[in-house]
Structure 1
Amino acid sequence: MATAYSYAASRSSARTTPQDKNRTSGWRLAGFASLFVPITAAQMPLAVHLPAIYAQQFGLSLAVIGAIFLGERLWGAVADPLIGALSDRTHGRFGRRRPWIVAGAALFGVSGAALFFPASSLVSPLYLTASLFLFYLGWSMVQIPYLAWSGELDSGYHGRTRIATFQTVAGSASLLVVLILPTIIDQINPEDGALKLAAMGSVVLVSLIVSLAVTLRSQAEAPAAPSTSARLSFRQTLGALFGHPLLRRVLLSDFAVTTGQSIRSALIVLFVTHYMGLPHWASGLFLFQFVFGIAAAPIWAQIGYRIGKHRAAVAGELAQAAINVGLLLVVPGQIGLLLALTLAQGLTQGSGNLMLRSMVADIADEHRLRTGEDRTALFFSAFSLSTKAGMAAAVGIALPLVGWLGFDPRVASNTTEALHGLLAVFALGPAVAHLLSAWLIHGFPLDEAAHTEIRRALDERDHAAQPAE
């Protein structure tokens, strides 16, 4: 059977455009994308604030908290592919994706209330473990089928970029809000960790209730495409995920992107406070970057429309690598160049994530044409794993490395060598990761012409498979 690789000669195929007359209206697509608000809003509190608050406010040790978060990552490595595979095999009057999203949202909301609004008398390692594991399970039950539904909403090469752009804007806006709230509370009562946790949790839970209703009403699920979707063992599931050469390239590229971004996030406060000597700028710079990050997605979508997804991803990654190398020129105490580079970082933020997420549905189309199996949600579950792995790797690499180089955040004055070690990791760690991501996705064969041919072949086969009236 024909595969994506056989379409390389089809460069003269009719060009698809993001201005397709049948595309979903902007308002309806904005409603559909709104579910990305609670999904993304939960990332920052869990990655940055929650561990410190549970340690300082509720007395859990950092070692225990770290072990609980590590255990969740291992749990997610099993649960996420299972959710994807089960969603692909779900059939019923309510569709394949909606039942999972609704059930996951209920679990996400209840466990989120326990996680963000804990009673001091109840908090213990077991309490955090149970609420965190259930919260992430609900999160995956929402996110993975929802991303698969996103890929099925529009079968066009550029249409998928458009959907991912709306979602990225919604996610960036939600991150901006959850960054602003702790900053405001720091000016009022910086010692009240429970208030910060409750404020951020309120954003997550209120937006979940509103966006769930809006998203489910905004779009109808397309009928499931003809597919064998045979039941796979766990070993076969991993083989389907990591044995596909195109998906493997995208996952490795996403892992590199996320690792680079997470190294920057993990070290930015330490860098601004200790190397720059400007602790009052630490939260503000992070916020400054995300303000411009909201504008980044539409800019990169237009670039993707013109030069293709993988070329836009490469361009964005090369730009981010150059920006991070530029940090080596920053002088302590002088904010001007750092502000300029932070602005540029915001405008390139998410370029790779946006394009790579849009490419996963294209790969699922290629896989279905070649094998007859629809594994869309399963493929998106792997994308979730690469993102989580990148975030974990960044913390596991960056923090021990700067410590090995002599930097100690607990002392008021580090040596010059230690501060230069912090600078090197903060600048060159992300730069190397973004260069690796660009190299992995360079020359990706599944471009617009190839995908157009794949969709034509799928549409013809699906039409032929329909029973005669």
Structure 2
Amino acid sequence: MTTAGAAPAWRGGWGQGLAYGSLGLPLAFVALPLYVVLPNHYAAEFGIPLATLGALLLGARLLDAVADPWIGRLVDGWFARSARAVLLAAVLAALLCALGFRGLFFPAVDTTAGAAGQPALLLWCAALLALTYLSYSVLSVLHQAWGARLGGDEGQRARIVSWREGLALLGVLVASVLPSVAGLSVTTAVFALTLALGVALLARAPRPQVTTASAPALWAPLRTPAFKRLLAIYLVNGVASAVPATLVLFFIRDRLQAAAFEPLFLASYFAAGALSMPLWLRGVARFGLARTWLAGMVLAIASFAWAALLGAGDVAAYTAVCIASGIALGADLTLPGALLAGVIQRAGHGQQLEGAYFGWWNFATKLNLALAAGVALPLLGAFGYTPGARDAEALQALTLAYCLLPCLLKLAAASLLWALWLRKETPR
């Protein structure tokens, strides 16, 4: 039975899509400004060394990643109580996230004392990074689990995920422009307002059924064979996508020598990802989730193979590469999460353990980023590349790492998808 006073079931219209997906937009603010804007702000305004800031960010993200499975267990407990308990948790997490985000950029400690005041500032930064990331993770897992609990066939699951991820891509675009255009004060205010709006709209979104469930199980997803197979594919594919994301600015500045066109390239990539989602949904309706995801992997391989042929000044060609790889990004964002929702349903864990599954899923997502940096950057250094290098050998190493390595990893992911999924799963 559905909860009394619950919103109507999912019908797929714009109103319901926006109501559910809008929370994805402000959540995108947390990743980008904290990684891009925060280090520069603390270094320029407060004189904090970049190495120290990097260590703080790494520590906070590691804490965040390790906490995700436990957060998933908490989320399942809230869903077992009522939709009201879930929404109350979302309100509290949103409040803490907004306060932490604001406090990071406007510290409530003495910032005029120079080196003598740095220990207090660093302690403040570390505490608020932990608060912001943990509350962000609660909202993310809660949001994902809510969508998965709405159920439906492959097409419906893909549409639900596309609303969430499409609005998250819009949030990335807004968050990348707003700090430089309007300043940090406006950025933090916009984040707080859109976060409040996202939670308010979620309260009006279609609500999942509330069922009597057993105690939330932290390890149950890892005992589900289909989840382990899907997670293996997702990990390899995620590293393949994270490697070029880690190296893209080096490639633009040194191989293409087109730093002035960075906004064009990045905007083309993210906009293509968002706009391609209806295309992938049509593919799902005709070919199914897994085969459509395989097509996205093939497109990504073709895009990065083409990028390997480019050199200095190839702005138009690389813009086309960004558009093509952005379209492939749309598949990566929309389809794996919809496949996961199906795994949960078939395992008999629907309406019970969505939080646990997405907790481990988010742990894998963050592990992807760490593995990409841990593989690509040392590999570049070993082959003699340093930022700003223009000699042929260094640029060749950069091209191999940015283009060839993702192609090989995507090919491995596509092979795993075929061997571990398409050959094992029954036809739709």
TM-score range, shorter-chain basis? Answer: 0.7 to 0.9
Equivalent residue, structure 2, for 1:4:
none
Are residues 1:399 and 2:402 paired?
Answer: no
Candidates 188, 196, 206, aligned match of 2:193: 206
Distance 1:425 1:253 in 2: 21
SS at match of 2:257: coil
Candidates 138, 143, 154, aligned match of 2:140: 143
Residues 23 and 154 of structure 1 are in contact (CA less than 8 Å); yes or no, is this contact kept in structure 2? no
Equivalent residue, structure 1, for 2:286:
306
Are residues 1:117 and 2:114 paired?
Answer: no
Distance 1:179 1:418 in 2: 30
Please list the CA deviations of residues 207-234 of structure 1 after superposition, one character each: whole Å capped at 9, or x if unmatched. 101111112123334222x43x3355xx
Q: For 1:27-46, what aligned pairs fall within 5 Å after superposition?
A: 27-46=15-34
SS at match of 1:212: helix
Are residues 1:345 and 2:342 paired?
Answer: no
Q: For 1:265-344, what aligned pairs fall within 5 Å after superposition?
A: 265-344=245-324
Letter in 2 for 1:230: A
Alpha-carbon offset, residue 448 of structure 1: 6.4
Residues 88 and 377 of structure 1 are in contact (CA less than 8 Å); yes or no, is this contact kept in structure 2? yes
Residues 324 and 430 of structure 1 are in contact (CA less than 8 Å); yes or no, is this contact kept in structure 2? yes
Alpha-carbon offset, residue 128 of structure 1: 1.5
Cα separation, partners in 2 of 1:24 and 1:340, compared to 1, 3 Å: closer
Residues 104 and 141 of structure 1 are in contact (CA less than 8 Å); yes or no, is this contact kept in structure 2? yes
Among all aligned residue pairs of Structure 1 and Structure 2, give the percentage whose two residues are the same amino acid.
26
Cα separation, partners in 2 of 1:99 and 1:434, compared to 1, 3 Å: farther
Letter in 2 for 1:386: A
Candidates 215, 219, 235, aligned match of 2:206: 219
Distance 1:198 1:406 in 2: 41
SS at match of 2:209: coil
Please list the CA deviations of residues 291-348 of structure 1 after superposition, one character each: whole Å capped at 9, or x if unmatched. 2222111111111121111111111012101211111110212223212211211222
Alpha-carbon offset, residue 389 of structure 1: 0.8
Cα separation, partners in 2 of 1:26 and 1:448, compared to 1, 3 Å: farther
Distance 2:341 2:41 in 1: 38
Distance 1:51 1:360 in 2: 35
Cα separation, partners in 2 of 1:177 and 1:270, compared to 1, 3 Å: same
Residues 89 and 96 of structure 1 are in contact (CA less than 8 Å); yes or no, is this contact kept in structure 2? no
Alpha-carbon offset, residue 59 of structure 1: 2.1
Residues 216 and 353 of structure 2 are in contact (CA less than 8 Å); yes or no, is this contact kept in structure 1? no
Cα separation, partners in 2 of 1:79 and 1:26, compared to 1, 3 Å: same
Alpha-carbon offset, residue 29 of structure 1: 2.0
Residues 145 and 354 of structure 2 are in contact (CA less than 8 Å); yes or no, is this contact kept in structure 1? yes
Cα separation, partners in 2 of 1:439 and 1:180, compared to 1, 3 Å: same
SS at match of 1:344: helix
Alpha-carbon offset, residue 105 of structure 1: 1.2
Letter in 2 for 1:99: L
Residues 58 and 120 of structure 1 are in contact (CA less than 8 Å); yes or no, is this contact kept in structure 2? no
Candidates 100, 125, 132, aligned match of 1:128: 125
Equivalent residue, structure 2, for 1:428:
404
Candidates 411, 417, 420, aligned match of 1:441: 417
Alpha-carbon offset, residue 24 of structure 1: 4.0
TM-score calculated relative to the size of structure 1: 0.80
Distance 1:306 1:105 in 2: 39
Equivalent residue, structure 2, for 1:53:
41
Distance 1:250 1:65 in 2: 35
Please list the CA deviations of residues 181-201 of structure 1 after superposition, one character each: whole Å capped at 9, or x if unmatched. 35657xxxxxxxxx3x44543
Structure 1: gaps (5+ residues): 1-20, 186-194, 450-469
TM-score calculated relative to the size of structure 2: 0.88
Candidates 55, 62, 68, aligned match of 1:74: 62
Cα separation, partners in 2 of 1:351 and 1:248, compared to 1, 3 Å: same
Residues 71 and 359 of structure 2 are in contact (CA less than 8 Å); yes or no, is this contact kept in structure 1? yes
Are residues 1:156 and 2:153 paired?
Answer: yes
Cα separation, partners in 2 of 1:139 and 1:87, compared to 1, 3 Å: same
Residues 23 and 195 of structure 2 are in contact (CA less than 8 Å); yes or no, is this contact kept in structure 1? yes
Cα separation, partners in 2 of 1:422 and 1:68, compared to 1, 3 Å: same
Cα separation, partners in 2 of 1:183 and 1:313, compared to 1, 3 Å: farther
Candidates 241, 258, 279, aligned match of 1:261: 241
Residues 65 and 366 of structure 2 are in contact (CA less than 8 Å); yes or no, is this contact kept in structure 1? no
Distance 2:165 2:314 in 1: 32
Equivalent residue, structure 1, for 2:339:
359
Please list the CA deviations of residues 129-168 of structure 1 after superposition, one character each: whole Å capped at 9, or x if unmatched. 1111111110111111221110112333321111011112
Are residues 1:173 and 2:167 paired?
Answer: no
Alpha-carbon offset, residue 446 of structure 1: 4.5
Cα separation, partners in 2 of 1:125 and 1:400, compared to 1, 3 Å: farther
Distance 1:182 1:419 in 2: 32
Equivalent residue, structure 1, for 2:225:
245
Two-structure CA RMSD over aligned residues (Å): 2.4
Structure 2: gaps (5+ residues): 1-8, 112-117
Please list the CA deviations of residues 247-266 of structure 1 after superposition, one character each: whole Å capped at 9, or x if unmatched. 12222322233323322222
Q: How many pairs were matched up?
A: 408
Please list the CA deviations of residues 432-463 of structure 1 after superposition, one character each: whole Å capped at 9, or x if unmatched. 232232222223444663xxxxxxxxxxxxxx
Residues 309 and 447 of structure 1 are in contact (CA less than 8 Å); yes or no, is this contact kept in structure 2? no
Cα separation, partners in 2 of 1:95 and 1:210, compared to 1, 3 Å: closer
Candidates 97, 105, 113, aligned match of 2:94: 105
Are residues 1:23 and 2:17 paired?
Answer: no
Letter in 2 for 1:84: G
